[in-house]
Every structure is written in structure tokens, then in C-alpha cells.
Amino acid sequence: MGKKELIVAQETRYWKGDKQVKAENLKPGDELLYNLTGKSADSQGWCMDIWIGVDTHQLTKDNQQNKFNAFIKHRGLPGWIEKTESKNVTLTLFSGDTAAYKKAWADDLVKGKETKLLVTNDELRTWNPPVDGERGAILDVQKVPAECYGCSGFRITVSVSDMLEGFRKGRVARVLIGGWPVKDQFYGESLMGYGFGRMQNQELVENPAKEYPEQYPFRTEFGNEHLSWYQLKPGQPPPPASEHVVYGEVTKVNEDKHSGQFRTDRTGDSVGFNLIENASVRHLNSDAPLSDIPVGTRCRFHLYKDEKGNFTKASLVSDEFSYLASNFITWRVSNLKLNDRKLYAERQIPLVKDYNGDMQRPPDVGRTELRVTNDTRVWRGDKPVKLSDIAVGDALLINLSGELPGKPSRCTDIWIGEDTHKLVTEQENAKNKPKRKVTKAK
């Protein structure tokens, strides 16, 4: 069948059973499974993990499957709604592994089992399971051909006490089986806005433009592709969710300080822009003149069409630091690979008060690889420090360069620790207070 050379590194992990072992445990004749890093122009990739022996392979698979089953049981079995009739809802449950699905859930999917049906969006996120769901029972279970992508092979009909708005053909719902826990979802995963009143974006909570597009008489970033984008009206501020969001690197700020150019992420197109009346410019989480944003900074542009139909009119220009800080998000360092010019970090949302009034730390909501260079500036307090001063566990805010073909985004600046983040914004506020001419867009 051929031979393959496996490249390992100092960071390669070796597993036998469920224990991590040393490389010396490998011997000729061992059967291996492995995962690899990506390949790039400056790296041919290497083995991140190597699992030794068929018993280890099966144990690792079983452990991961059990972990996934626990994840699903906490949230409910997802499925497409095929039909609603009276107070009955028919769903085709979905899965990527029909054999594992049957083994895990067939004993629960039987006629007469009590259920709770939850309204879910297309990201499989629910609102508030203890409240926003309807109790009932399984009325029918059908085995169906698992020929289409994602079909589990099971179709069920469940009764509900009341037919909720979200129980519509073509929508997605989740089913909790009697005896399964009915719990509030983790903060940052639930669509409930409770605890997130301070945040200014809709990433972590219910997004009306995405969930209820019919409320918007124009196209948005989240729906209504059949409609036109909102056209600015003289003397009227643009309505919420009407902007077209484009990311790009500032390449020029004109002398009037109200216009400039940026280079779009990925495509590298050059776009000229003008600030509209009462536009907002945010730098280091402070209102600022456009000239305060250094050339080379990647920003978030909220754009509208001009008279020629091009997106050149900006209601908001905001750097990455401001976007993260205004939403109380930080990157928590999980691993340092400074020899490779990389930091690995988890996206961390703030402590929030739960339904009992207690503060809790939500789970991380993402992870990333941050690239650094010799030119990356690092700050602790108001003093520059070295990249090597960053430690695992540090909470970071960052600014970035643009993302271009063959030239990935990198950190231009890194600020270490919440005290530093607060100090930087306070200093920026003090500097800009006498000369602010724009008001923050809502």
C-alpha cells in the first residue's frame, strides 16, 4: 500500500491506552493513527498526536463518542421539522454517523417516551430550555433510508402541549427525552440575552436580523438577500443592522481626517471611504479622530452605498481592540510557540451573573492562532515589554494587520492584562476628550 514518512516534533504527543507516553514506547510493527498540523510555505507540517495500537485507537474513539453523546444529551437531539399537524410535530433527526447514532439513541427513541421539544435556530442554539419548550411524548418512530447527507435514519412524531412559533416546516428543533436533564444552556451558547446587557454586538445572544428577517425591509448581513441594501437618507441616522460590514487594513487617511482608503481582507481591493454625518471612529475603545488609527491597522468598517452604488460611506470605523473591549472579550493564552512566531489563545467572555444571582465564568467560545513578528509591539501597563514576557493564562487585547493572499494577518500590538486594557482606554479618552467631533453610532 506504500510507505509514509512521519515528521515529529518536540511537541508531538504519544498515546497508549488513555495515557500519554514517551516516544521510546514506539516500536517496529506498531499500528498508528495520527493527526497532523497544517502545511504552509515555511512548514511541511508534523504529527501533533500519535495513537499507538488498535486497542488505543478503539478506546480513543469510544471516549470521544461518549463525550459527544454527553454533549448531545445536555442539549437535545437535533432534527429538521418535516411536518406539523394539529399539535403534532414530525422531525427527521440528523447525524453524521448512523451506526453510532443507532447504538447511542435507539433505546430512547421508542413510542410513548416523554419528550420536551425545544425551539432552535439554524446554529442549533436554544433559548431557555426549562421555559422555552413544550412537553409531550413520542407518538411514532420510523426507520428511514439514511441516503441524504446528515440523516440519522430515524424520523419521529412527537406531541406538544402548544404549537410554538418556531415549530415550522423547514426549521430545526431539539428533542429532550424523558429523564434527560433540562438545563439552561451555557452563557455564550444560549440565545438568551440575560447577563449580556453590556455587550454591543449580537454574536452571543439572539440576533433579530438573523432570527426575524421579516422585520427588516432591507437586506442585512444575516438575511433578506432578495432585498436591496438600505440607502442613506439625509439627516436620518441609519437603522440598526442596515450596515454592510467589511474588514480591511487602513492604508491612507486624508488631510481632511474624514476620508481615507483601506485594503480589503483576502481580496486586497483598494476602497476609498468617507465618514457620514455623526459617524463614529473607535480606537483603543475610545472615540477618536480618524487620524489616530495607524496606517496598517485592520479595522471593521460599517459601510453604505454611495450615489454610484459602491460601499464607500462609513458609519463606523473600529479597530480590533475596540471591538473586543466594547464587548468585554479577551484572548486567554493557552500555549506559546514563540520560536514559530505563534500564540494559541482561547476566546474568553466576561464573568456574568447567572439566574441565581451568582457570578460564573462561561466556557470559552472559540480559539485561534495569533501570529507575531519581530515588529509586534507588546505592552504591560504603559511600558513596552518583550514577546517573551507573555505567559500562559494572560488575558490579551490585540490589534492586527490585514489578511491578504500569501500574507496572513499578524498582531501589530498586544496588550497584556485587564489593568493594561483599562489604562490604555483611559489614556486614549483623556487624549481625545478635547477634540472629539463625532458621536458614537448606535
Q: What is the pLDDT of residues 280-303, one digit of tens each?
A: 999 999 999 999 999 999 999 999
As given in the structure block, the three cell numbers for residue 99 are: 451506526
Is residue 62 located within the same domain as residue 86?
Answer: no
pLDDT-based confidence at 435, cuts 50/70/90?
A: low
Q: Per residue in 214-249, pLDDT tens?
A: 999 999 999 999 999 999 999 899 999 999 999 999
* Domain span at 416: 225-442
> Going by C-beta distance under 8 Å and a sequence separation of 6 or more, which residues neighbour residue 226?
219
Average pLDDT over residues 142-160: 91
40 secondary structure, DSSP code: B
Interatomic CA distance for residues 428 and 292, integer angstroms:
10
Dihedral angle of Cα 314, 315, 321, 324, to the nearest 10 degrees: -130
Residue with grid cell 454591543, as numbered in its chain? 200
Q: Calculate ∠ Cα 234-238-240, nearest 5°.
A: 170
pLDDT-based confidence at 197, cuts 50/70/90?
A: low
CA-to-CA dists, residue 2 to 5, 30, 39, angstroms = 10, 16, 21
Q: What does DSSP say about strands 13-16 and 342-348: parallel, antiparallel, or unpaired?
A: unpaired
At which of 50, 70, 90 does a domain end?
70
Interatomic CA distance for residues 241 and 209, integer angstroms:
7
- Residue pair 76/125 in contact (Cβ under 8 Å)? The answer is no
Is residue 235 located within the same domain as residue 150?
Answer: no
Average pLDDT over residues 405-424: 95
Is residue 141 located within the same domain as residue 80?
Answer: yes
Is residue 136 located within the same domain as residue 37?
Answer: no
Interatomic CA distance for residues 130 and 118, integer angstroms:
9
Dihedral angle of Cα 129, 131, 134, 137, to the nearest 10 degrees: 60
In a domain, 143, yes or no: yes
At which of 28, 44, 70 does a domain end?
70
In a domain, 87, yes or no: yes
Q: Of the candidates 41, 50, 325, 42, which has an alpha carbon nearest to the alpha carbon of residue 199?
A: 325
Q: Per residue in 378-399, pLDDT tens?
A: 999 999 999 999 999 999 999 9
Q: Taking the mean position of all CA atoms in its chain, how far away is CA 108?
A: 32
Exposed, middle or buried, 72 (CB in 10 Å: 0-12/13-18/19+)?
A: middle
Is residue 365 located within the same domain as residue 302?
Answer: yes
Is residue 31 located within the same domain as residue 165?
Answer: no
Phi, psi of 264 (to 5 degrees): -70, 145
In a domain, 4, yes or no: no
| Domain count across the chain | 3
At which of 142, 177, 212 does a domain end?
177
Which CATH number fits the domain that encloses residue 143? Answer: 2.40.30.170
Is residue 119 located within the same domain as residue 44?
Answer: no
Is residue 384 located within the same domain as residue 261?
Answer: yes
Is residue 21 located within the same domain as residue 100?
Answer: no
- Residue pair 299/319 in contact (Cβ under 8 Å)? The answer is yes
pLDDT-based confidence at 270, cuts 50/70/90?
A: very high
Is residue 263 located within the same domain as residue 390?
Answer: yes
Three-state DSSP at 160 gives: coil
